[in-house]
A = this chain, B = another copy of it.
Amino acid sequence: MTEKPVAQVHRGQILFTASPEKFSAYENGYIVVEEGKVKGVTRELPREYREVPLADWGDRLIIPGFVDLHLHAPQFPNAGLGQDMELLPWLETYTFPEEMKYRDAEYAKKVYSRFVDELWLNGTTRAVVFATIHQEATELLYRLFESRGLGAFVGKVNMDRNCPDALKEKTRQSLAATRAYLENHREKTSLVKPIITPRFVPTSTADSLEGLGKLAAEFQVPVQSHLCENIGEILWVEELHPEQPNYARVYNAYGLFGQQPTVMAHCVHCSDEEVELIKKNRVFVAHCPHSNLNLSSGIMPVRHYLDLGIDVGLGSDISGGHKVSMFGVMAVAQQVSKIKWLESEKKYAPLTTAEVFYLATKGGGKFFGKVGSFEEGYEFDALIIDDSNLFGDGLTLEERIQRLLYLGDDRNIVERYVAGRKNENPRI
């Protein structure tokens, strides 16, 4: 008898998207996991794994954990509020006043604990997250992700212009704190990693952007920011940077646009030249449809990006977006793609269910490496789904997943795995 103590086998109704074109579906299939990684998905259990512990999930679905490619932890208390403004006044009125509170570590601990629990609850196993300018609170958020066993890139925000004094850093101090933060996490072996995070061009001086680009290169860490979310924002960047032909080129001039792996949130109104640069520099785009509706930003031409082979994932964008749950983000991504189809005179085809599922799993997961699929070698991030409370019998697996995106919520998630480890939360 060959014992493989680090192996595990899961049996159930398996669904994932190796490509955006279609679901891979295995009714009563098996997933073999070794050392936290998927060894294979099969319809019959291979002989050599018959002695390995088997988790039989019966009629439950087994799907990859969700990846949230863009959200702001400190904005969590504002989720569902402030639905009456566009981006720039919304930042001034709702967001900046909330973010000021995070100089208080006690406050940060209270909110961030709840925030990370909420991600856990909703099956988001990996997230790319903005914190605030405050290093102490950012470290705290970092440790909370570590202690909850969720994967994340956590960014200390940099701002040194065009924001309230209480959030305005001195450039040198901002870069020094960022360096210290990166040095604290040089050992990038955990599921949590630092990420360079200028808020967006309007709130970072050229000196700051230059310094951050150099830090990204020196520490070999990725970058996240915002791009072309709102027309007012874009006009402002044009005013601030007449020396550059467009918004994207400002980031690019300072080594913050794909020189290291980069996620840009929104990209609702990119020019053709900017889209070309996104493609050329292999920048990831975080599509945040709830946020784009709530802040009247518009509808992002996600089909256009996909047609060009650009990497796209989905973001809840708390609190521009209101809900952490990626179920709802997938559904609304499909909904707004239909309006884009109408608006574009049927040029941009609506997203299929397989496509939105891909975006929320493997699409965003690619930013983390081999994450978001059950192909061989992928991290075993998985959700076990009980959809028996939803009405309707005799559905195919694909119909069950479609219904889940539209009707499901945290109550349907009964177990979570991250990188092969069962992830339980004693607080909930």
**Per-residue CB proximity of A391-405 to B under 8 Å, as 1/0?**
110010001001111
Is A168 interfacial (CB-CB < 8 Å)? no
**Per-residue CB proximity of A316-355 to B under 8 Å, as 1/0?**
0000001100000001001110110111000000101100
Residue of B nearest to A341 (CB): B296
Is A409 interfacial (CB-CB < 8 Å)? yes
A402 contact from B83, B298, B395, B407, Cβ within 8 A: B83
A339 touches B79 (CB 8 A): no
Is A406 interfacial (CB-CB < 8 Å)? yes
A342 touches B77 (CB 8 A): no
Report chain B residues within 8 Å CB of A338: 293-294, 296
A323 contact from B80, B290, B402, B407, Cβ within 8 A: B407
Alpha-carbon distance A81/B331, docked complex (angstroms):
11
Tell me the A400-419 residues at the B interface (CB within 8 Å): 402-407, 409
Report chain B residues within 8 Å CB of A402: 80-81, 83
Report chain B residues within 8 Å CB of A391: 76-77, 79, 111, 114, 118
**Per-residue CB proximity of A96-134 to B under 8 Å, as 1/0?**
000000000000000100100010000000000000000
CB distance from A348 to the nearest CB of B (A): 12
Is A78 interfacial (CB-CB < 8 Å)? yes
Is A270 interfacial (CB-CB < 8 Å)? no
Alpha-carbon distance A81/B402, docked complex (angstroms):
6
Tell me the A28-57 residues at the B interface (CB within 8 Å): none
Residue of B nearest to A338 (CB): B296
**Per-residue CB proximity of A229-262 to B under 8 Å, as 1/0?**
0000000000000000000000000000000000
Is A390 interfacial (CB-CB < 8 Å)? yes
Report chain B residues within 8 Å CB of A405: 80
Given known pairs A114-B391, A339-B339, A392-B78, the reply for A334 and B406 (CB within 8 Å) is no
Report chain B residues within 8 Å CB of A293: 335-336, 338-339
CB distance from A256 to the nearest CB of B (A): 29
Copies in the complex: 2
Report chain B residues within 8 Å CB of A80: 390, 402-407
Is A307 interfacial (CB-CB < 8 Å)? no
Alpha-carbon distance A111/B393, docked complex (angstroms):
11
Alpha-carbon distance A296/B406, docked complex (angstroms):
16
Residue of B nearest to A289 (CB): B335
Residue of B nearest to A336 (CB): B293
Report chain B residues within 8 Å CB of A78: 392
Tell me the A189-234 residues at the B interface (CB within 8 Å): none
Residue of B nearest to A334 (CB): B83
Residue in A81, A111, A341, A353 with the greatest tally of chain B CB atoms within 10 Å? A81
Is A288 interfacial (CB-CB < 8 Å)? no
Report chain B residues within 8 Å CB of A272: none
B-binding residues in A (CB < 8 A): 76-81, 83-84, 111, 114, 118, 290, 293-294, 296, 298-299, 322-323, 331, 334-336, 338-339, 341-343, 350, 352-353, 390-392, 395, 399, 402-407, 409
Extra A-B contacts (15), CB below 8 Å, given A77-B392, A80-B390, A84-B350: A77-B391, A80-B402, A81-B395, A81-B402, A83-B406, A84-B353, A114-B391, A293-B336, A294-B335, A296-B339, A296-B342, A296-B350, A299-B339, A322-B406, A323-B407
